[in-house]
Structure 1
């Protein structure tokens, strides 16, 4: 009875605190994610007031939060959208892997951790946080932006790549032979491919089966199906997030719309719990010794993610503002990075890898919402500041070369604003 009362007090305090932090963030017009993480740090291992009784429930709630975030992300798009985006954006996935995995591998080798740790840290720096980015896109009202499908395509490619990467890294960490590793990889690829095939081929039948006029029945069926598929996927060495995302993709029409309306409050609740849980399991005392290399890695890979998003959006014909928004949105790392680092820590590969990965993810999960919001305004400000100066220099040079024609020469501002707009540079709907 006493432990039950303590649990209710702790969990109630967590939920109330999250509500107050969310309200504060709303007044400041700021994503609440960094505040949730800092709250977790304050009340986690080594924090001001560690929690104990509610820890197990918070851990389960955090897993449900990630699953619901990815389900709601999948509900925004149909199976045909997914296949079309994958066909057109796979080069962006290759560029993403090259630009963002190599810095992590290089850092591990520079620190003398060996090739296995290099493969692990490459995964930590490569994968953006689908959960954080889904939350940020919703908070900033960008789910309908023209650049958002590009961002989601890269996230989907990363999540699907995890179906290949996680079995490989598990085999490497366990020292498994080639046969055992190949079997694990084949199972993972087969399951991911099967779920994707069912989502694309039989999505309408699944939606008809799920659909109901009774909100209670619709909620229970959709939530139960999502948790079931996510659990089976994870049991078969495929990411639970990929399974949840594909369930969302499979649903369409009235079923998708009804599920979105019913699950939105649950998503917000459990997503907040996920971010608090991440902070709860970070010991603040382990961060200072690895802060400098983590900070250097964060700066480099924030830049490479922005470059990835900009390049991918430019390739898709998105406006310059949309390109910067796409790049800034991709910066955050989170749940997958922590999972990858946790596997290495459990295997005892390198003692410092866990704290470094934690500090790195914590930095970028706080910086990520900031870059998502401010990368485009800062880029626009710098462009307005430097382009007129360049135009003025060019105008002055032309005037000196042809003084006789100076009477009809346009001023710097006129010269800049009259430049023709490239054909593929249409402005985003929310620019």
Structure 2
């Protein structure tokens, strides 16, 4: 008998248990992640009544791959455009929740007498809610069209991004073995530098690569290339000192800006589901049920901290963001669970051996409990709101009403704000590119050139090459926005504004000279005054160079084109850009919601004018998405087709009524036995006594009466395929018919 590798046996146990548990949890209408964790508990070494995984090391390796693909898939759904669209309210609310829960988690750990690192990691685990669980709960409860759900999804986007930063911060704490402020600031600055650099470089290169190789990209090739890019970024991120999860997330978010994003997401989903299942099963394998009972009261205390803390800080954050109290309560009560990042952070602590052995199973137990309670907490927001409003002190209530109504006023940006915001973006972005070029040049280019051309001439060649590479970006730092509308308007305001404008130009000029000085002083030995003079001359040449101006503009246009490539593709394929006002509707009673027209909907084939949705439901259809096309502000003669995704504007009540009606307006299921509707192919011979003899196919009524089709006839040695309807049956003909099995047998008995 051949030997079966342990890994295959372990995978059979893991996937078998996971498959069984997912069926059970699907039946119970619970999140699948809980089923995976239960499967892991059964497959782990702590439960002896079921088959046990033999080599946990191999499983952990697969679980690490699962984390990579989880973060890669999350990045594909993330998109930097989505981050820019979430708006200020989501950012304010998310940061309030995260900071509040980190502090609360740390204090709970201190109260329980845990060591400092356990308390810090506990705070990080409790700070993030679960995107997948909340998404599923909204679907199950039919709340996707409610006004507050858009804000909740925005909060979750910010939390996912901050979770990545938090993982890096915790890793830095562990490696440095201290909590020095400057060390932490350096780590965060390094993270932000590389994130911006990877994003800029990726957007500049990768969409162009996919566009030029599109004809070569079948599904198989696209999957392999995407996973190759993902794992390459994982290796590079690990090489420069970051986690593999960060690299996967960054590459996913870059690919999310390409035309192929939806296809990549579809292709990667089965791979992600497989490895994610192994990851969550491995999470369950680390849970010791006996330890959960031993730490029963800490589990209860932390669960209460999550429920109360998330609801409180979530509500407070949304109120601070300027939203009404009802919306704030609904949003806060949705966030009351621990997300998948808690498992990843807990695994980070265990892998680096800095957290106690009891922390992991406690957090998993809390996650299971809070996940089960999520639907009930979401439903509880409705009854809690009238109670809170009634018992809230009058001064507080009036302050909240005044504050939230005041924040809804649209403030026009001043010219100074517009100009300074643009200049900050320009200086930061181009400085990151210049610094990255300098780092790469002095680590790779300079040693290579000096190896072949030593001395002064080698240094001169290096200086020329480096300055040539950074000159378009230096010119952009100095020259951009000097002729903008805001700059001209402020210049015309008077001498006071002109002094500040001149100072801004000088500051940028000095910054560019500093970069040039770094290059020259690193390669040549001379007096500072001489080098400064050379740097000023070089910057003057760069500033007045028409060629560098053209190069700078082309680089920026190429980047912006790649950044908007999905919208550009939509225009060229006959579609239009989706509405851009979705984020601005959250501050009003109206908001956007998406609905999909079911394939069996009774509304299919009717025009918007015939359906009169505005008169019947007080809603307005503002866009129809059909395949790759988008029809903005459709006219009354536009028809609805199966699987159209329509965007509708209305209030919570109007959209809820519309959605309920849409789901009920479907064709009734046919009362038929599917086992009897299978189509089959049969043959029969027309004999002398057959009722078909002498009749044509049309006259026989085979199609009309028995719902069968004659597909062929054989007469002697001749064969006739798809015979004409006027063909007459003769004795001895061999006839082939196709139809449902029962109908065919009825025909054979009749003929």
What's the TM-score, normalizing by structure 1? 0.75
Q: Could you tell me how far apart the structure 2 residues matched to 1:235 and 1:113 are?
A: 33
Can you list the C-alpha shifts for 1:280-302, whole angstroms capped at 9, x where unaligned?
12233333332212320221123
Say which SS state the counterpart of residue 429 (structure 1) adopts. Answer: strand
1:342 to 338, 347, 350: 350
Pairing 1:215–2:216 present: no
- Give the Cα separation in 2 of the matches to 1:32 and 1:110: 33
Aligned residue for 2:45, secondary structure, equals: coil
Q: Contact 1:101–1:123 (CA<8 Å) still a contact in 2? A: yes
Aligned-partner SS, 2:588? coil
Indicate conservation of the 8 Å contact 1:100/1:304, yes or no.
yes
1:195 aligns to what? 198
Q: What CA distance in whole angstroms lies between the structure 1 residues aligned with 2:22 and 2:274?
A: 11
**Structure 1 Cα separation of the partners of residues 210 and 313 of structure 2:** 35
Query: What's 2:371 paired with?
Result: 369
Unaligned residue ranges in structure 2 (runs of 5+) = 392-585, 595-655, 657-751
Residue 76 of structure 1 and its aligned partner are, at CA, apart by 2.5
Which position in structure 2 is the counterpart of 1:123? 124
Distance in 2, matches of 1:241 and 1:272, equals: 17
User: 1:8-407 maps to which residues of 2 (within 5 A)?
Assistant: 8-48=8-48, 49=50, 51-85=52-86, 89-113=90-114, 115-126=116-127, 128=128, 133-134=131-132, 137=135, 141=139, 146=150, 147-172=152-177, 187-199=190-202, 204-205=207-208, 208=211, 213-251=217-255, 252-312=257-317, 315=321, 320=326, 324=330, 327-329=333-335, 331-333=337-339, 334-342=342-350, 346-347=353-354, 353-355=356-358, 357-382=359-384
Within 1, Cα distance between the matches of 2:202 and 2:238? 18
Deviations 1:26-58 (A, max 9, x none): 233221221221221122132224634453332
Deviations 1:329-355 (A, max 9, x none): 4621432331353267x24xx7xx330
- CA RMSD after TM alignment: 3.8
Deviation at 1:222, TM superposition (A): 0.9
Cα distance in 2 for partners of 1:165, 1:76 equals 25
Contact 2:10 2:54 in 1 (8 A): yes
User: Cα offset for 1:59?
Assistant: 1.7
The structure with the largest helix share of the pair is 1
Instruction: Please say which of residues 195-204 and 53-62 is displaced more in the overlay.
Output: 195-204
Offset, 1:189: 4.5
> Higher RCO, 1 or 2 (CA under 8 Å, sep at least 6)?
1
Aligned-pair CA distance for 1:366:
1.1
Unaligned runs of 5+ in 1: 392-421
Q: 2 CA distance for matches of 1:193 and 1:330?
A: 32
More strand by share: 2
Mapped contact 1:123–1:337 kept (Cα < 8 A): yes
* Equivalent position to 1:429, from 593, 600, 613: 593
* Structure 1 segments (4+ residues) deviating >6 Å: 176-183
User: Aligned partners of 1:231, 1:139: CA distance in 2, in Å?
Assistant: 36
Residues 10 and 165 of structure 1, relative CA distance in 2, 3 Å threshold: closer
Query: Which one has the largest radius of gyration?
Result: 2
- Aligned with 2:301: secondary structure? helix
Closer, same or farther: CA 200–218 of 1 in aligned 2, 3 Å:
closer
Q: 1:176 and 1:325 mapped to 2: Cα distance?
A: 34
Cα drift, residue 382 of structure 1: 4.9
SS at structure 2 position matched to 1:30: coil
**What displacement does 1:219 show?**
0.4
Q: Structure 1 residues 242 and 206, CA, compared in 2 at 3 Å: closer, same or farther?
A: farther
Q: What is the CA distance between 1:217 and its match in structure 2?
A: 0.5
Kindly indicate whether the alpha-carbon contact (under 8 Å) linking 2:22 and 2:32 is maintained by their aligned counterparts in 1. yes
* CA displacement, residues 365-390 of structure 1 (integer Å, 9 cap, x when unaligned): 21343344332223225558x699x7
Alpha-carbon deviation of 1:93?
Answer: 4.0
